[in-house]
Amino acid sequence: MKYTLALLVSVFFFNLSPAQDEADKLVGVWQPSDGRSYIKIEKIGSKFYGRIVWLKEPNDEDGNPRVDENNPDESLRSTPLKGYRILKDFVYDEEEKIWKDGTIYDPKNGTTYNCKIELKEENKIEVRGFVGTAVFGRTDVWTRLVKKKK
């Protein structure tokens, strides 16, 4: 009985491992195509989230940190953009090989969109924000930042 349980547990964990490895390929620091920010994507629990960790122009004209001035919630308009979580609640779909059921927030217009992410190459993802179905939306290609080897 003890060996049967150990065998079942090891089979369960070994069968989950490849899918888990695929899902975790999203973790890292990514640069959207406009080059104006870096987004760090991390896994929290079983979901994936992304926050702004670098801005090309971190300060406004007065030298103050840029804030989320277009947020529809007035109480959040003084929140600094650096550190702001713009990707939320993504789950990995093993069959479709995409991260889905998440949202992306665009601080340029204060709008949150449905979103899906697809790994196109080891260091390239397509991030598609959309309204309703994925038919009506916009896709951007993000590039993973990779440390240069010395």
* Structure tokens given for 20: 């888990």
Euclidean distance between CA atoms 107 and 97, whole angstroms: 28
Our CA dihedral for 138, 141, 120, 45, rounded to 10 degrees, sits at -80
What value does the mean pLDDT take over residues 96-102? Answer: 97
The pLDDT value given to residue 68: 97
Residue 14 clears pLDDT 60, i.e. is over it: no
Please compute the mean of the pLDDT values over residues 104-126 and round it to a whole number.
Answer: 97
| Coil vs helix vs strand at 108 | coil
Residues 6+ apart with CB under 8 A from 25: 119, 122
Average pLDDT rounded to a whole number, residues 62-72: 96
Q: What percent of the chain has pLDDT over 70?
A: 87
Report the CATH fold assignment for 26-144: Lipocalin (2.40.128)
Region 32-57: what's the mean pLDDT? 97
Residue 20: what pLDDT? Answer: 72
Annotated domain spans of the chain: 26-144
Please tell me the pTM assigned to this model. 0.84
Q: How far apart are the first and last CA of the chain?
A: 52
Average pLDDT, the chain: 89
